Amino acid sequence: MNIITNGICAAKGFKGAGIHCGIRKNRSKKDLALIVSEKKASAACVYTTNLVKGAPIYVTKKNVADGYAQAIICNSGNANTCNANGQEIAKKMCELVAKELKISSEDIIVASTGVIGEPLNIKPIEDNINVLVDSLGYDSSSVAHAIMTTDLVEKEIAVSFEISGVTCRLGGVAKGSGMINPNMATMLVFLTTDVNIETELLQKALLDATNDTFNMVSVDGDTSTNDMVSILANGMADNKKIGICDSDYKTFFNALVYVMTHLSKAIAKDGEGATKLLECNVVNAPTIEIARIIAKKVISSSLVKTAMFGSDANWGRILCAIGYSGVDVEIGLIEVKFESSKGEILVCQNGAGVHFDEAIAKTILQEDYIKINISLNQGDKKATAWGCDLTYDYVKINGDYRS
């Protein structure tokens, strides 16, 4: 597997564009993105678990019910959520794209991100949809920027790999910085691939990969209303169609997990106000579910996150999070280590503290990528979760989000 350029536009038959249409006040910020496949593609999606859902999710669910789509339209600056005419606006967005591309409006995935509860004015989109379509090309960066809200950096990646001797490509773009919590987050992720695969297997691969990637990310404990991960697979690589869970499926799945893991870490690292990327690795667990629960509890703990911000090796907060996670494990067998590019240090063994050099621990924790390594010593299962530290700037950003 090789990392390649052009992100969401790397796969054969895909183009993208991002422009400023006027939804956002700042003209320097793009706010409307479009991704288009040359031909109709197999489509799969995973959505937020929040009971309050953005209008675009309801429209997208209906549009991809047949397992196919050809384009993705997304705006930033307004979530189109909790609005009386929300679904009407989301449908209109699809109709505008369909008219310009001369495709069915039901073959379009629609998404929105931004402020909740403010009506989305369709006019800026309507007035600029032709500009957006005319801008279609291979500038994946413009797509990445157009879906950003409080994100500080664009998040995209593409890889190439071989399936039975045929070169295939898979690209992804994501946004997400705040309202990030396991079981989807305030994030939008769009994936494109030229792999030829049955729709049912595409949905299975996306859901399974999401459980080990995006559902293992937490920034602040808030689960958003508009979360969506969508993938289009147009089959233009011309590999033999993947119809069973064989070696070809495994190759595709591994590439998907690689791309989604990269984007998950990018989202966690760019958490609002964050200075550090945190990774919690739980190993030697009795079950995968227990490993996942513990990893997510630790990475979501405000006390753990603030300790990491202060470079404080307060391992007791980690055991505390494990203790209230609700899983049945033997605390007296647990081991905890902190790791970064400056080294690794053991801080807890057999559920109790050990003597360690505080100065060395602080040096390790002052780096911007910290690993919290937990061994339960009660099995052979493992899981990883990603998050970030909790800083003063998180409060500042969210205290005037609508300003």
CATH classification at residue 384: 3.10.20.340
Q: Which two tokens stand for residue 71?
A: 């384009």
Contact 128, 21 (CB under 8 A): yes
Rounded Cα–Cα distance for residues 72 and 69 (Å): 8
pLDDT at residue 184, rounded to an integer: 39
Measured between alpha carbons, how far is 237 from 398 in angstroms, rounded to an integer?
44
CA distance 70 to 221: 34
Based on the domain organization, do 117 and 245 belong to the same domain? yes
- CA distance linking residue 121 with residue 126, whole number of Å: 9
Which residue, 248, 269, 290, sits at the end of a domain? Answer: 269
Q: Which of 249, 190, 236, 188 is nearest to 40 (CA)?
A: 236
Residues 197, 203: Cα–Cα separation, whole Å: 10
Residue 385, both tokens? 């979760």
Do both 130 and 238 map to the same domain?
yes
Q: Which of 344, 391, 334 is nearest to 365 (CA)?
A: 344
Last residue of a domain, one of 221, 236, 269: 269
3-state secondary structure of 310: coil
Q: Which amino acid is at 372?
A: I
Q: In this structure, what DSSP letter does residue 324 have?
A: T
382 in the same domain as 348: yes
The torsion angle over the Cα atoms of residues 19, 22, 23 and 24, rounded to 10 degrees, is 90
Question: What is the rounded distance in angstroms from the CA atom of residue 135 to the CA atom of residue 66?
Answer: 29
Residues 241 and 282 in one domain: no
Strands, sheet with 381-388, edge to edge from the N-terminal-most edge strand:
352-353, 343-349, 335-340, 369-375, 277-285, 381-388
The residue type of 142 is: S
Q: Are 55 and 215 in contact (CB under 8 A)?
A: no
- Helix, strand, coil % (nearest 5) of the chain? 35, 30, 35
Cβ burial 292-301 (10 Å sphere, 16+ → b, else e):
bbbbbbbbbb
Helix 123-134, helix 86-101: angle, nearest 10: 30
Considering the domain architecture, whether residues 263 and 343 belong to the same structural domain is answered as no
For residues 246 and 283, state if they share a domain.
Answer: no
For residues 348 and 314, give the distance between their C-alpha atoms in angstroms, rounded to a whole number: 10
Distance CA 289, CA 16 (A): 38
Q: Which two tokens stand for residue 235?
A: 């089959």
Residues 43 and 189 in one domain: yes
Domain co-membership, 265 together with 281 = no
Residue 403 is predicted with a pLDDT of 46
Counting the structural domains of the chain, the total is 2
**Same-domain pairing of 265 and 284:** no
CA distance 4 to 214: 22
Q: What is the DSSP string of 73-131?
A: EEEEEE---S-TTHHHHHHHHHHHHHHHHTS-GGGEEEEEEEESSSPPPSHHHHHHHHH
Do 118 and 85 lie in one domain? The reply is: yes
CB of 252 within 8 A of CB of 208? no
> What does each of the 403 residues of the chain score in pLDDT, given as a tens digit?
999 999 999 999 999 999 999 999 888 899 999 999 999 999 999 987 777 778 999 999 999 999 999 999 999 999 898 889 999 999 999 999 999 999 999 999 999 988 888 899 999 999 999 999 999 999 999 999 999 987 888 999 999 999 999 999 999 999 976 544 444 345 799 999 999 999 999 999 999 999 999 889 876 544 445 678 999 999 999 999 999 999 999 999 999 999 999 999 998 888 777 899 999 999 999 999 999 999 999 999 999 999 999 999 999 999 999 999 999 999 999 999 999 999 999 999 999 999 999 999 999 999 999 999 999 999 999 999 999 998 887 777 666 655 4
Dihedral angle over CA of 92, 97, 98, 100, nearest 10: 130
CATH of the domain at 18: 3.60.70.12
Whose tokens are 């309801």? That residue is 58
What residues make up the domain containing 312?
277-399
Statement to judge: residues 177 and 303 lie in one domain: no
Indicate if 96 and 198 belong to the same structural domain. yes
- DSSP for 351-378 reads TEE----HHHHHHHHTSSEEEEEEE--S
CB of 177 within 8 A of CB of 218? no
Catalytic residue among 186, 193, 210, 391: 186
Residue that terminates a domain, selected from 231, 253, 269: 269
Tokens for 60? 């997208």
Q: Which of 359, 332, 363, 362 is nearest to 348 (CA)?
A: 332
| Catalytic-residue membership of 186 | yes
